Structure 1
């Protein structure tokens, strides 16, 4: 497996220093000069590119050149291995790469009048979102999660582009079919007798998200005069209800009753999770409750995802937790930790509850195929389980769906009913109970 990484020759130099491309392949190592230099203060170690700052106005062109060189290096190495039927030496690779880059000089890539390629415009599209020069439909800046999603799609397209020529004219039905097939397929190889997955097969929903990002980008490209190919409008971004669980009130109570005093970090996570179970807020919201959001008997909070204000009565169990932390933290609630870490701790907590050790059949569609596995219920508990549990339990208690949607933020009853976890039998029982309460007879 080959690795291509950029690094600075002198990281601490007070002035411009050369950017080198370090190529590691099959035990060979080549330090290749890119012919580009940069001041270390403008260099981003994580992205291995220049920072997009006002003090470095040519950062975009600089990065385009580095991406181009890396792409040519990858293609050159792959081509030489195929042509020679062996691993080329570092001298052979350097000589060939010099020839390739000499044939395509940098000046050609820096023509200001040249229309950007598909991938160049996609990169600009992402940069505009990062910088805030392009906003969401509601006029807000894109959050980090959205930008991360764009970057992931960009990286995937870049890899796919090694076998498919990506231009605005080639984004058609053939592209859609081949790209979806590529996403569905697992790519792996054997290293030292062990299977190493290079690219996993993706779920239907993940593929749907990738297609939706591409469609949104192409709409932007069309609106700005870069694209005239309308084939993308027929691309289907499929979505199926993902497998998830909810906890009923008895299960929530058993989690609440666990004695976790010997593990304070788990105790705080448990308490914060219970707050989520009885407010219906998303992780980004129940971990951001401030003192000013607490209004006597209610929580008033502007949700992070939609920006809408919701008012939620404070449940007795939440009130109990607030009393526990009163005077300890300003908001009378446990401090927030990362979503990833909280999910890991939640599993440590949930597996202590006997009733959550029941096996559950998990159905997922991956690689275009339906797969059914069995997992114990505690393994499936996440921070989002809290919100789904709230919606499902309150709905089952007989609270009107339309009123509950005002708290959960669901815009349509159809979306809400897909979100909650209610079986057809439970729906029938709820209707029967309703008829009994209203003294109506069932034929």
Structure 2
């Protein structure tokens, strides 16, 4: 699903304001919805697709309304996907319009900390923290990062409710830290990395509490450790990637096998697909191609779903404002013996909505389970995220310097980048043996 916001300058009113419109594309459909909000053109940020956060603009009432509508559309799509059905246009429109008709959300007015609960303060901090320009990009937090802040706020509120306590910054000592760790990692069985992210965000909040509100937080919070645990990274080997790319969906044996798998899925899930067998097989092929796009470019699926020919400049794919970090990525766009992004995109040129390199794929991860069976890949569970990890791992094995791969993936630190590096054990062994043989010969 792709959601964009436009200021309709063609409908400029006599008072100098223009209406804001939402355009939503999903599963080959398009829906335009008027938001009921208007703004002056000079107050509209075309790049960020929101009202400029400046004194005198109605950003505090309009932007939250636009965000609610975006979230409502995403939730409607997620609900339909979980139920194994396509999202009807009428249902999506109703969900978006319901979100738009809610009363506008204004920023909380500053209040003394003594009269404001911890959760309310955290809610107040989120928009302030989100608008601050990030180091390196100069841009505010992405919607994905803001959602992470909200997740931490909700987790802390659940912890306080479970323990029957009121959270207060001045009492958040090492005892609190240890108990919150037990709650998150042992009682809720969340990963160590998820707990670490909560701690990072909490420390940022407590620093704001001290510095901006000039109120005391417990000094122990500076000792809170945000742990990170690196497990084995799954990525396709070169041979597996070649097998995946070599699948011929026009081949009679492949089609027969695919129809058999379709029957097995229907028997196991008791789901009746609304698509014909032919269209269903075309969608399995699209899932394979969407996965290959992630393998060949290193893009996250959210960014792959908006990568279009307009972003191609010669032999370089340049995508600004990536979904998670907001950085610009520079991806090689040429074919070699293994990575073939150009040939892949050429198959869909002039056939893809919005001129995307590869069309958006509905239920991609679900269909990838069938693709991996066709390709004989059984050692891992195939998801679009494996595509990004495969790009990183195999580019390094090709001999590309890590700092150059990071420019393509948008990673800003080596620590974050290393979490995406997988191991081709056979290739690793061959390299060690080859270098050892060379030393003996010398």
TM-score computed with the length of structure 1 as normaliser:
0.60
**Which 5+ residue runs of structure 1 have no aligned equivalent?**
1-43, 54-58, 62-109, 187-199, 359-376
Q: By how many angstroms is 1:414 displaced?
A: 5.9
Q: By how many angstroms is 1:235 displaced?
A: 0.5
Q: By how many angstroms is 1:223 displaced?
A: 1.3
1:52 — aligned with what? 105
Q: Is 2:233–2:421's contact at 8 Å kept on the other side of the alignment?
A: no
Distance change in 2, residues 1:154/1:416 (3 Å): closer
2:5 — aligned with what? none
Deviations 1:286-325 (A, max 9, x none): 2221222222333232351242341413225222222211
What are the equivalent positions in structure 2 for 1:42-441 lying under 5 Å apart? 51-53=104-106, 60=108, 115-128=115-128, 132=131, 134-137=132-135, 138-162=137-161, 163=163, 164-186=165-187, 200-224=188-212, 225-260=214-249, 262=278, 263-302=281-320, 304=322, 305-315=325-335, 317-329=340-352, 331=355, 333-337=357-361, 341-354=363-376, 356-358=377-379, 377=380, 380-411=381-412, 416-422=417-423, 426-427=427-428, 429-430=430-431, 432-433=433-434, 441=440
Rg comparison, structure with higher value: 1
TM-score computed with the length of structure 2 as normaliser:
0.61
**Which 5+ residue runs of structure 2 have no aligned equivalent?**
1-96, 251-277
Q: Structure 2 CA distance, aligned partners of 1:425 and 1:205?
A: 29
Q: Structure 2 CA distance, aligned partners of 1:399 and 1:434?
A: 18
Between 401-410 and 120-129, the greater mean CA deviation after superposition: 401-410
Q: Is 1:204–1:239's contact at 8 Å kept on the other side of the alignment?
A: yes
Q: By how many angstroms is 1:180 displaced?
A: 0.9
Q: Is 2:233–2:423's contact at 8 Å kept on the other side of the alignment?
A: no
Higher helix proportion, which one?
Answer: 2
User: What's the Cα RMSD here?
Assistant: 3.3
Q: Structure 2 CA distance, aligned partners of 1:223 and 1:242?
A: 36
Q: By how many angstroms is 1:427 displaced?
A: 4.3
Q: Which stretches of structure 1, 4 residues or more, deviate above 6 A after TM superposition?
A: 44-47, 110-113
Between 262-271 and 422-431, the greater mean CA deviation after superposition: 422-431
Name which structure has the greater RCO, CA cutoff 8 Å, separation 6+.
2
The total of aligned residue pairs comes to 307
Q: Is 2:297–2:331's contact at 8 Å kept on the other side of the alignment?
A: no
